[in-house]
Amino acid sequence: MVASPPHMAEISPPTGAPDLKRLRIERPTAEAPRKGSARPRRGLRWGWLLALAAAAAVWWFRAELQQAAGLANDAPLQVRTVFVRSEVATPPGAIGSNGYIVARRRAALSTVLSGLLVEMKVEEGQRVEADQVIARIQYDDFSVGLQTRELAIAVLSKQRAEIEQEVVIAKHGITRAEQDCVNARQFLAQAQAEERIAHAELERQRPLHATGDLPWLDLERLANSEERAQAIVAAAAARVAGAEAALEEARGRAAGRELELERIDAESERAKSEKDAAAILLERTYIRAPFAGVIVRKNAEEGEVVASTGGQGNSRGSVAELVDFDSLEVQVELPETRILQVKESPSAQVFFDAEPARGWPAQVSRIWPTADRAKATIEVRVAFPDGGIPPIARPEMGVRVSFAPPGAAAPTKTAPEMLVPRAALFDLRGERAAVFVIEEAKLKRVELELGAERGESRVVRSGLGSSAEVVLDPAPAWREGQMVRRS
């Protein structure tokens, strides 16, 4: 009988069903790792990570490494440059300090109102005269308000003319009423006189009638005459009363017209005051130059909102800045220890950074009454003589001020010196050194003959032109002819 292959299912004799528990695949047993075998594998992993990090660093700094090694002449070097300058050295005993050009008269032009800027009439660099219109904000509503008050004044003026005519008529009525009163009183007086005559005649004839010397008819006639005279007196008295009443009425009418005239005058004064206020508001829509000068900056354009209390949100606080160039002077901060020397010798020379070889005469004009505690300095203002402000002067320009030594009438004039920063020098050999200059976007090596030190610079005796552009902090691996790019 042939034996069944190993690991195959066997049929159980009692039931004839296969034994599934014995159906499995045998695998070779793996050897247990030896003690200490995991450490070399972990070390290998860290080695790969360090190699990848080094490769990433090399790739990231590849441009800098190529520049430092001088391997990539086709890739421009990123360099910092500076132009050499010529300036006059400070004489022995003199005080030298840097400063800036400032203006005594400088104004930020704005308006006390807030509104939309609708007109801008100046540009930077334009000279303007005093009271010249610089700009204007929206003025439609203020113009309408002024026109409304002018119309109200015109209406009141017309009403006043009408009332004045009525007052004249009323005064004429008073005159007529007074004349009527005079006539009525005269008529009354005449009637009263006639009444007295008739009464006297009646009384004189009455005794004759009693004696029979006067007929009754004559006496009756005299009595009728007296009664008629009395009636005339009563009518005259009534006429006088009517004339006096008419006079009082005329006077009342005239007084009423005069009161109306006073009311119109009061309303006219109020309307004129309102008109003046409206005219002031309309005038405030103009932005005018307070003094003659030059517009140095525009801070707003047409269509922007100008705020009266300074720029808030999207609004502008001022529309332009005006500088009086006739008030330009130099602002200098000097150490406290040098103030007495400056007081004793106020003469100075001003050298502009833009024109360092030329000195301009100046004089100390003011010394600030307080000092800067943090910097231990005191501000000094140096003014140019009348008519002597340099044409090159502009606000905020950098200058160097040389104050005369004590006892000297004015700073000594010396020849200008060319200075190069020490950071640009390399290959120093005593009084000789080299620099890289930029020509046509390439490095060019230049040999220099050096002189004395001037702070962070050295005097150049020969080798450079006044407008040369030198490279700062040159690397040892840089070579002449490499392309450069200014940072």
Q: For residue range 136-186, what is the model confidence (pLDDT) as tens digits?
A: 999 999 999 999 999 999 999 999 999 999 889 988 888 898 898 888 889
State the pLDDT at residue 139: 92
Say which residue, 452 or 334, is predicted with more confidence. Answer: 334
Q: How confident is the model at residue 119 (pLDDT cuts 50, 70, 90)?
A: very high
Widest Cα–Cα separation across the chain: 220
Which of 101-110, 122-131, 169-178, 302-311 comes out lowest in average pLDDT? 302-311
Residue in 483, 476, 434 with CA at minimum distance from that of residue 78: 483
Q: Which amino acid is present at 175? A: T
- pLDDT digit string, tens, across residues 10-51: 444 444 445 555 555 555 544 444 444 445 555 566 767 777
Phi, psi of 52 (to 5 degrees): -65, -40
Residue 288 has pLDDT above 90, yes or no: yes
State the pLDDT at residue 200: 82
Q: Is 404 exposed, middle or buried (0-12, 13-18, 19+ CB in 10 A)?
A: buried
Q: How confident is the model at residue 406 (pLDDT cuts 50, 70, 90)?
A: low
State the pLDDT at residue 3: 43
Contact 466, 86 (CB under 8 A): yes
Q: Whole-model pTM?
A: 0.56
State the pLDDT at residue 74: 58
Q: How confident is the model at residue 211 (pLDDT cuts 50, 70, 90)?
A: confident
- Report how far residue 286's alpha carbon sits from residue 293's, in angstroms, rounded to the nearest whole number: 18
Q: Is 160 exposed, middle or buried (0-12, 13-18, 19+ CB in 10 A)?
A: middle
Domains of the chain with CATH codes: 77-86+417-486 (2.40.420.20), 90-105+324-413 (2.40.30.170), 107-138+285-321 (2.40.50.100), 141-283 (1.10.287.620)
Residue 269 has pLDDT above 90, yes or no: yes
Q: How confident is the model at residue 2 (pLDDT cuts 50, 70, 90)?
A: very low
User: What DSSP character marks residue 244?
Assistant: H
Helix or strand or coil: residue 68?
Answer: helix
Q: Is 163 exposed, middle or buried (0-12, 13-18, 19+ CB in 10 A)?
A: buried
What is the DSSP annotation of 30-45?
PPPPPTT-HHHHHHHH
Which of 83-87, 105-109, 370-374 comes out lowest in average pLDDT? 83-87
Q: What mean pLDDT, rounded, does the chain reach?
A: 81
260-276 mean pLDDT? 93
Say which residue, 418 or 389, is predicted with more confidence. Answer: 389
How many Å separate Cα 351 from the centre of its chain? 32
- pLDDT digit string, tens, across residues 225-254: 888 888 888 888 898 898 889 889 888 988
Residue 113 has pLDDT above 70, yes or no: yes
Residue 131 has pLDDT above 90, yes or no: yes
State the pLDDT at residue 132: 95
Contact 92, 404 (CB under 8 A): no
- Report how far residue 435's alpha carbon sits from residue 448's, in angstroms, rounded to the nearest whole number: 7
pLDDT over 70, % of the chain: 81
